[in-house]
Structures are given as C-alpha cells and as structure tokens.
Structure 1
Amino acid sequence: MLTITNVTWLDLLCLTGVGVYLVKQVVIKKNPAPYPPGPRGWPLIGNVLDMPRVKPWLTFTKWGQKYGDITHVEVLGWHIILLNSVKTAMEMMDRKSILYSDRPVLPMVGELVGWKDSLFFLSYGDRLRRQRKNIQRVIGSRAAVDVYNETEEVETLRFLKRVLAKPDRLQEHIRHTAGAIILRISHGYEVKENDDPFVDLADRAISQFSQGQFGNFMVDILPFLAKVPAWFPGAGFKRIAREWRGTLEEMVSAPHEFVKDQMVAGIAPMSFTSNLLEDSDMSAEEDHTVKWSAFPYTPAVLTRLTVSAIYSLFLAMTLFPDVQKKAQAEIDAVVGPDRLPSFADRDYLPYTEALVKEVLRWNVIVPTGAHCVTKDDIHDGYYIPKGSLVMPNISFMLNDPQTYANPSQFNPERFLTKDGKEPETEPRTICFGFGRRICPGLYLAEASIWISAAMSLAVFDISKVIENGVEITPEVEPLPGGISHPKPFKCSIKPRSATALGLIEQDALISS
C-alpha cells in the first residue's frame, strides 16, 4: 500500500506538475478547421498509450492506411502530424518550407546536453542559415565534393586492406573508414589506425545521445523539471546531462582547436574548417558558427548514415548474388582487371549507380523525420497548429507500392531506363529528408557509398557463410534508433582472383 511516507516531495512536485499541465489542456480555443483524422485518444492524455516505442514507422503505416496520407495524434497536448505520402510531404515541407522547417525542442539531449546547437537540431533562424551556407560552399554540390575524390579513393583502398586482413570485423572497418574520410575533409585530420581519440569521443557522444532518446527521461514529458537543481532528490538526470554535455563539447571543440593550432604553426592542410577560419578577424559568434558547421561532418551524424548504407550494401550482396554478379560484370567490362574503379568511371557504370540507389531505398537509413511548425496552418482543409511535430514516414514512402513496383524486391534495374519505361522515383529525394532540412551532406554520403560499392565489388566476392556444413542466411532486421542499422550479420568476403588480391595489396593510391 502506497502511503505519503513512500512518496518523496519531488514525486509530489511531479504529480502536481502533471495535474497543472493536464488541466491546461482542457482549456482549448476553438479551432479554425478540424484536425486531420486519426485514432481516438483518451480524455486529457490523448494518444499517449497508442504511441509505439518499437519500429514506430510500422504503426504509422497502419494508421496511414486507415486514416489517409495525413494522420493526427495528440500526446499530453502535443500535436503530432504523420505524413504517409511523398506528395503530401513535398506539398507541406518543400512548398511551405518557411512554415515547416523548425525542429522540436528536446529538453534532455537538446537543451540540457546541448545538441540543440548542432545543425540537425538547430531551431530555424539566422544561425541555421549561416551554418547551411558554410556547408553549401564546401560540399553542397557534386562538383564541390569532387575536390575530395582522391581522399575518398585512398581511404577506401585502406578499407579494402582492412577487410582482407580481418573480414569478420566488417562493421568496425566501415565505421573507421567513414570517420577517417569525414575528419580528413572537415578538419584535415588523419585518423589513427587504432584507438583514435576523436573517433572514440564521437562514439561516446553518440552512445550517450542514443541513451537520451526522447521519452527516456521524465524531463522530456515535463520540461519544467529542467529548472530543478541537480542536488534535488530524484534529479539525477541533471548530473547525467552535465556529464554528457562535457563529452559533446569536447567532441565539437577538440577537432576545431586542432585545426587552429595547425594554422598557427603553418602546417594545416586544406579542410572545411581551415577554409572557413581564414578570416583572422572572426568574432566569437562567427567562430562558434564555424565550429558547429563542421560538427555534422565529424563521426557523429554523417558517419552513421554512410556506415548504415555501406553495411546494408554488404548485406544485400550476401542475399542477392545475381545482383552482385551483374554489377561485377559491368565493372569488369568498363574498368578491366588491371586497376581499381575510380570516380572517373562513375558516369560509365549505370548499373552500379542504380545499385547504390536501391541500397538507399531498401535500407531506410532514417525511418522517420521530425519537423516542427512555426505558425498555425490550414493544409488540405485540416488544421495544423503552431508547434506541431510533423513526421514524414520515410520508411513507408520508400516501400510504397504506388511508387515502387514490388518494393520488397531488391532490384537496382528499377532505376534504369529499360524498354522505353522511365526509372522509378529517385530515392535521394526522400531518404535524405525534405525542404530546408534536407541533409546538406547528401552528395558526400552518396560519393562515399558509391566508391565503397564499386571498389569492393571489383575485388571481393561476398557470399553467405557456411558453418558446420549449413549455409547461414542473414536476417534482414533493422536495429531500433533514429538512424537505422541492419542487425549484425555474418558473411564471407574473399578476393575474386589473384589479380584482385594484387589490387588490394597495392600501395600506389596511398602513396600518390
């Protein structure tokens, strides 16, 4: 039996806050139009009991099939708008991008830990525009990214060497290579082969961020608790936030200071950060913008996208050997056996290009998006109130049978013109987001995935593992998280020939 002695005064404060919060939800102004349709909620708490915690995109898809392309749910007074069609997402987030380009406030990881300063969580405004402008200058087009082709090719050859030596550590090698490429570009920093401090920092920060998913801490539900002093009983989340904030600040600042020190010494190689720091009269605010502009290209965000996609590439090649053979045949015909593919071959390898697109569609890197509305809006006759969380169901959009024929089938040819039939919808227009929040690093991510695919398929045969005479078929199962990774799997990775082995072992690219 619960008595008052079992309840701390902080518990009472929380309960009082909940009561005040819920009472406020009762007093609602008259809406100018109806909300979009959706599942009926309970009085006061709304749809809090309906919200899925595992694979939410599957539930969102079911709701979309029942209620239509725009679905509305309400959680403790917070309006959530779910979008289940590309057409609707583009109408709202592209054509009305001024209204639909904000981000929701995340009390724990955003405000208390500090991720709100990163590009992906930054509120819409001048600071966001300045960061995106900086990024656009350096990697905002395929032509801009071409400057870094040699870096990509050198690091990918190193990746082949690591895979050859220890094929059972595939995911680790992919992560290491993605981080090496991005830190070379963002800060001119060459990652150490083992126990690199910057990579370790990024891994720790991302791990902490994952633990702080929205809803894991009461402060996300009751934001006023952020004002509670850390010494209050039950306020342990404040101490956790302080620790995590220190990790994040070190991850962002350490590479930035590394570049500054090298510039003072006159030995800084060309990089995203050194390019932007050339102005010696830079103000503190401008320096802050440069530091956080470079942040997405440390192994904190973009690395996770490329790691997920490249790991999925190896999974797809394990499961679909016929696709692998077609890509290898094209590479053999265009490149030949005496050298590795390079970016100069990209325009002449359409099937390999289509293969990369199909990987992006088949493995949905970011299953759902998250935008926030800055002003009340009426869309398609429905009321979208200011502050609503708008979530495009990207997973469904990339598997919508109205958009992609037989979406469960892994078929790169869907993206090729064949027998007079036009290619299906370009997945890049969906998988990297919408409107003014589209991933600014999409060209760099695509380039990393493409060169990994071309060089790996040129020299390796990827197949199922046989254990005790039994062929092991990997399970296609995404792990939970904001960025979706395939469940760890086993595969066999072997050189295609003695000539291929020689190409892997060469040092010509690395020494050039």
Structure 2
Amino acid sequence: MLTLTNVAWLNLLCLAGVGVYLLLRVFSKKNPAPYPPGPAGLPLVGNVLDMPQIKPWLIFTEWGKKYGDISHVEVLGQHIMVVNSVKTAMDMLEKKSIVYSDRPVLPMTGELVGWKHALPLLSYGDRFRQYRKNFHRIIGSRAALGAYNPIEDIETRRFLKRVFETPDQLQEHVRHTAGAIILRISYGYEVKENDDPFVNLAGRALDQFSRSTNPGAFMVDFMPFLAKVPGWFPGAGFKRLAREWHEIVEEMVSAPYQFVKDQMVTDIRSFAIAAGIAPKSFVSDLLEGHTLTAEENDIARWSAVSIYGGGSDTSVSAIYSLFLAMTLFPDVQKKAQAEIDAVVGPDRLPSFADFNSLPYTEALAKEVLRWNVVAPIGFPHRVTEDDIHNGYYIPKDSVIIANIWSMLNDPETYANPSEFNPERFLANNGKKPEPEPRTICFGFGRRICPGLLLAEASVWLSAVRSLAVFDISKVVEDGVEITPKVDQLSQAGTIRHTPSHPKPFKCSIKARSAKAIVLIEQDANY
C-alpha cells in the first residue's frame, strides 16, 4: 500500500498554496502606480533568492545606492519595502504613522509560540496604546526614571567589581548586569550571583524567540494556512515544538510577575493590590492600589516582560561595543578619562548628578549607539492601507524595513562613519554637531522604543564608571599585540528582532590606580 511521506504531504500543501497565489495574481486589480524599483524577481517565487540571509543591512545598503531611498522586492506574494534614508523613514513611519505602525503577523513566533502579545510583535491598537501608556507613566520621562537610579547605581558598582576580579569574563559580566538591572526595574527582583532561575528562564525564552523568527526555518511562516493543520498530521512537527516553546514563554511571562504579587498584600474580596513588602518596580507601580480586571492583569504582565525582553539584550550589545571601541581607539578613551578626572576627581565614582558636566562622555555614549548599531534593521512595520508615496505604490500589508545601519553609516551625514569619534556630536569651531543617533537607532513613529531613556542611562553610567576606574587596551600575546576586528555576529533574515552583537574579542582591562581599586572594592550596596 502506497503512503505519502511527511515531506510529500507538505509538498502537496505548498503546491496548493502556490496555486492559490497564482490565481490571485491572475485576477488581481491593476496597480494605481508603479512599485518602487528593486531587484528583478523570478516567476512564481519572486525575489526569494535575492533576500540576504547574512548581514542583510549591507545588501540593503547596496540596493539603496542602486535603486534609491526605497527598494521593493516580492517574496511569495509578500511585498517588502526597504527604506535606506532617514528622510524617507520619517516621511513614511512618522508623518504617516497611523497607517505605518502595525506589525507583520508571524505565524510561528507570534501565533503558535505565543509572543504575539509582546510589544515587538503586538498589533497596533488599543492594547498597544495601553502598553505605551504604562511605559510612559513609569519610565517615559527622566523624572520618573530617576526613581530607579539607585538600582542602576548598585548594579554598575557590582559590575565594576566583577570585571576587576575576572576581566576575561567581560561578556558574561555585561549580560549578567544588564539582566540584573532590568529584572530589578521590572519586577523588583534581585538576581543571584550565579545560575539565577529567572535569568536562565529568560535566556531560554529569548533564544527560542530568535530560533522561531529565523526566516525559512518554518514553512508555516510562508504558508500560514499550515497553522490550522492538526498536530498529528504528517509533517506538523513544528506544532509540537511550538507547544513546548509556548510553555517556556508562558513561564517567563507569569513567574516573575507572580513573584511581585506574592510580595504584595491582596484583598481577596476586591482583588485590589496594596503595598506590601515588594520593592518598588514597574509591576508594583502598576498593581499598587488598583483593582485589576483579567484583561488589565494580562496587559500588566506582558508590559513587564516586554521591558525585560526588549531591554536586557540591547544593553548587552551596546555596552560590549563600548569596550571594543575603547580597545581600538585609545585616544578617545584618554580624552574621556581626562574629562572625568577634571570634573569628578579620583575620590568617588561618577554619578547621574555629573551628567551635565561631562559633555564629551555624553557624546561618547551617543557614538556607542551609532558606531556599532544594536538593531541594524530594527523590526519591520506593516502598512494597514494602500498608500502612494513619492509616486510609488505601497500596497496594504506591505512590510517596511528601515535600514538603520545604513542611516547611521551614511558618509553624507556622518563624516568617516567607520571611525569612533564622539566629537562629531559636539559643536566645535563653528561646526554644527552631526545628527543625534537617538532619533534613528531606537526606531520610528509610534513604534519608537519606549525604553530609550532607560537604555541611554544604562549605557552612559556603565561607560563613565568603567572609564573612571579602568584602562582598556589591546591584549599582548607572545609579544604580539592583538587587534580585535569590528564585526557583528551574523543576523539571519530580515524580520529578526534579536539585537546584533559584536563578535567576542579579547582586551586587557586593568585598574587605573590604587585609588581606583579602592572605589571598585567599595561595598556594592554603598
């Protein structure tokens, strides 16, 4: 008796999907304007072979040079527009934000694994606006964020001590500290020094997020109707995997949230949560003194996990890039240290109170965000209505990718963009500063990162304190000086939200003086 293999079943379903796609193409209406220019595609599959799988921002930049500010490709019926200029991104994603603020639907990641309620994948609507309202009230202004300055202070002190004791574990220390800061701000949870359960849980969940968004990994992302196939159906192993991953996501969302609730006093009759022993945090502020409906409770827990998921990994990338830059550009390091020494002196660590007195160090933190872009292509937007932009047709449901890397490395905007040069952001001898990277690197329009002030504060404090107490330089091995390469880990595909990190590198990190050692070894709870 002949039976179809799993692959054969999937092939039949895919052929059926292609057939439907061809029928739609045959009977589709005529476009009101041409699409933006782009690489010529193939029949049926369009530009599948043109889509870059490694460092897509570099290929997209070449498209920009060849085709202009907007490039168009079509992959199995999905229209994708790549934007390579700040002006076009602003015109589309800012000025027309009511149309350009939705997200693409990711069947595997969003629907099956369960990330659809996390802010990066959340559809534009009332729930999205409630998240933003929560973020703005608690971390959306410098005044509100000031309540969490003691957390930043304590954790960066602990970071300095870890780096001093085991500098060869720099990347691990950066990651641990970023997670510790975000977990304390989000949930009031103080992480364990080693093998923390919440840190490990989040690590597994974010790794699975990365794997589930890897383009081409799951056929359901190209053929969404496969999501309706029952789990027992031949070839539907992805559904069983999604169920396993969904359990991890649900635990990540629920466990730290429940930790906060367990430390607060609950009135069982009204479900109103009042102040208990829980330390101040994003969640405790949302819950304190409020009667929550089931929907509000769900919004609160997903708002909190969105802060952790979005904030921890991006801070890791930026701060690790700082140490790479200081290794490669010692003159910049010396200028920053000279400013810190003159303003702060050797007897205390810099603090947020010194921010306005350290303009060069502020510019250095800005250059960290520009020089090694954390999210080179950000996260795509989706168009909710047909649009004509600059004479080009942008059909409804098109995916819009902003090539942030290209914008922050445009030589017409940033002189010698490959150079790490904080002075580009300082007015000097009548020369105007170059444009702020914060208006680009944190996204556009209504999808701009709501935690940008927190990210900037974390990067600045880590930078100024590290430079105050450490000398960072190239490693010498067998008498040979090792120069790290500026290279980012490959980021596959075009719709992956995972930040891009510098590849691991070696550097020498030593205390600047005996007084610096005293500051490093102060009680981290000082």
TM above 0.5:
yes
Q: Structure 2: 5+ residue runs without aligned partners?
A: 267-275, 492-497
Compute the TM-score of the two structures, normalised by the length of structure 2: 0.94
Structure 1 residue 280: Cα displacement:
4.1
The residue number in structure 2 matching 1:488 is 504
The residue number in structure 1 matching 2:248 is 247
Query: Is 1:382 aligned with 2:392?
Result: yes
Q: Structure 1: 5+ residue runs without aligned partners?
A: none
Deviations 1:152-176 (A, max 9, x none): 0110000001001111110110111
CA contact (8 A) 1:47 1:73 kept: yes
Deviations 1:200-245 (A, max 9, x none): 0000001111111232111111111111111112111101111111
Bigger CA drift: 3-12 or 348-357?
Answer: 3-12
Alignment of 1:59-458 (within 5 A): 59-212=59-212, 213-264=214-265, 266-298=276-308, 300-369=309-378, 370-458=380-468
Distance 1:490 1:391 in 2: 33
1:489 corresponds to which letter in structure 2? Answer: F
The residue number in structure 2 matching 1:52 is 52
2:319 corresponds to which letter in structure 1? Answer: I
Distance 1:74 1:203 in 2: 34
Structure 1 residue 24: Cα displacement:
2.4
Bigger CA drift: 468-477 or 427-436?
Answer: 468-477
Distance 1:5 1:443 in 2: 53
Deviations 1:30-75 (A, max 9, x none): 1111111111111222111111111111111111111110111111
Distance 1:210 1:479 in 2: 13
CA contact (8 A) 2:490 2:500 kept: yes
Bigger CA drift: 351-360 or 6-15?
Answer: 6-15
1:232 corresponds to which letter in structure 2? Answer: F
Alignment of 1:7-46 (within 5 A): 8-46=8-46
Structure 1 residue 22: Cα displacement:
3.4
1:353 corresponds to which letter in structure 2? Answer: E
The residue number in structure 2 matching 1:498 is 514
Distance 1:6 1:73 in 2: 31
CA contact (8 A) 1:82 1:393 kept: yes
Distance 2:128 2:322 in 1: 33
Structure 1 stretches of 4+ with a deviation exceeding 4 A read 3-7
Deviations 1:362-419 (A, max 9, x none): 0111111310001111111111111000011100000001111111111100000100
CA contact (8 A) 1:18 1:222 kept: no
2:504 corresponds to which letter in structure 1? Answer: P
Bigger CA drift: 18-27 or 244-253?
Answer: 18-27
Distance 1:279 1:49 in 2: 55
1:436 corresponds to which letter in structure 2? Answer: R
Specify the SS of the correspondent of 1:49.
helix
Specify the SS of the correspondent of 2:49.
coil
Bigger CA drift: 266-275 or 13-22?
Answer: 13-22
Distance 2:373 2:145 in 1: 23
Bigger CA drift: 102-111 or 274-283?
Answer: 274-283
Distance 1:10 1:282 in 2: 45
Bigger CA drift: 185-194 or 274-283?
Answer: 274-283
Structure 1 residue 5: Cα displacement:
7.4
Specify the SS of the correspondent of 2:74.
strand
CA contact (8 A) 1:22 1:76 kept: no
Structure 1 residue 480: Cα displacement:
2.2
The residue number in structure 1 matching 2:273 is none
RMSD: 1.4
Specify the SS of the correspondent of 2:519.
helix
**Equivalences, count:** 507
Distance 2:129 2:397 in 1: 20
Compute the TM-score of the two structures, normalised by the length of structure 1: 0.97
Distance 2:329 2:290 in 1: 54
Deviations 1:334-389 (A, max 9, x none): 00000000000010000000001111000111111310001111111111111000
The residue number in structure 2 matching 1:511 is 525
Distance 2:6 2:147 in 1: 64
1:497 corresponds to which letter in structure 2? Answer: S
Bigger CA drift: 492-501 or 231-240?
Answer: 231-240
Distance 1:181 1:392 in 2: 29
Distance 1:65 1:451 in 2: 38
